[in-house]
A = this chain, B = another copy of it.
Amino acid sequence: MRWYGGIEAGGTKFVCAVGTGPEDILAETRFPTGRPEESIGQAIAFFRGQRVPLEAVGIASFGPIDPDPSSPTFGYVTTTPKPGWAHTDFAGAVRRALDVPVGFDTDVNVAAFGEHRWGAAQGLDTFVYLTIGTGLGGGGMVNGKLLHGLMHPEMGHMRVPHDWCTDPYPGCCPYHGDCWEGLAAGPAIEGRWGRPGESLPPDHPAWELEAGYLAYGLVNLICVLSPQRLILGGGVMAQTQLLPLVRRKVQELLNLYLQVPAITDKIDDYIVLPGLGSRAGVLGAIALAQTLTP
């Protein structure tokens, strides 16, 4: 058996695991994200503490990052405002400590990769994976490869319609105010209603509004990428009343312009939750690691 390590490095917590896939995780740990030397050190110590040798490690990192293997700063967290993390050689530190190949991409691209391998995106070549939680971000594949381009997507920073009359909340993105993330991620729900989304009842008007903002962004993703499926993960989607509202609003906004059965007839199969649940990131990191050995 060949074992692989995965690190899901989120803004609030790290998840590390050793295994070969969803049915075969040998060990797993999670801890709050601290300063880089501390958190990366904890991850390395966890892997060193396993009794099996690792073939490779995959990292799903919060960003912005440099995911370009041909770049001198490949594997770095780049310009994040997160204290201490700007310009951190994350992948390099892990590679030097463990002496194995290290894969590195955004948290959402790696989760997308996990969903492609074992979850809700199997067999697709163009799809989007979104996380809607403390932030709002997206990754995915186009033509069977992870989206990169100039750098990597920052889907949460799209601009969407904001009706200030019905929703005077100004948004909470420190860069853009009422961008998609600033209006629709978890902190925006809390900022707008004065208490966390988890404490709002399922019939609270917050959810209708939230579904509307999510639908605006999804419609934009559909118009730009023409994905074969949209996978919505993250803590906010744990509100089970949300997904049906989102599907209906996407159809309303598109207004039969795109006469594709996937959208007009089978939207329950088009906008879905992650097949791997909350484990898409760490499992994707293991899947990414598996691409690094022959």
Chain A residues within CB distance 8 Å of chain B: 64, 78-79, 125-126, 138, 142-145, 147-162, 175-176, 216, 219-228, 253-260, 262-263
B-side contacts of A253, CB under 8 Å: 159, 176
How distant is A160 from chain B, measured CB to nearest CB, in Å?
Answer: 6
- A227 and chain B: residue at smallest CB distance: B149
* Chain B residues near A224 (CB-CB < 8 A): 138, 153, 155, 158, 220-221, 224-225
Chain B: minimal CB distance from A183 (Å): 11
Residue with the highest number of chain B CB atoms closer than 10 Å, among A175, A223, A228, A253? A223
Q: In the bound complex, do residue B223 and residue A154 qualify as a contact, i.e. CB atoms below 8 Å apart?
A: yes
| CB nearest neighbor in B for A143 | B145
Report how far A259 CA is from B151 CA in the complex, Å.
10
A226 touches which one: B149, B162, B216, B256 (CB < 8 A)?
B149
Interface on chain A toward B: helix, strand, loop, or mixed SS?
A: loop
> Please, how many angstroms separate the alpha-carbon atoms of A148 and B150 in the complex?
20
Cα–Cα distance between A156 and B228 once the two chains are bound (Å): 19
Contacts of A148 in B (CB 8 A): 126, 143, 226
Considering residues A126, A150, A157, A227, which has the most beta carbons from chain B within 10 angstroms of its beta carbon? A150
A175 with B257: in contact, given A158-B220, A161-B159, A220-B220 (CB under 8 Å)? yes
- What's the Cα separation between A143 and B259 when bound, in Å? 27
B153 touches A126 (CB 8 A): no
The one of B160, B176, B226 in contact with A147, judged by C-beta atoms closer than 8 angstroms, is: B226
Cα(A263)–Cα(B157), bound, Å: 15
Contact B255 A175 (CB under 8 A): yes
- The answer to whether A223 and B155 touch (CB under 8 A), given A149-B142, A161-B160, A256-B175, is yes
- A143 touches which of B143, B156, B157, B260 (Cβ 8 Å): B143
Give A175 to B223 CA distance when docked, in angstroms.
14
Q: Is the CB of A158 within 8 A of B223?
A: yes
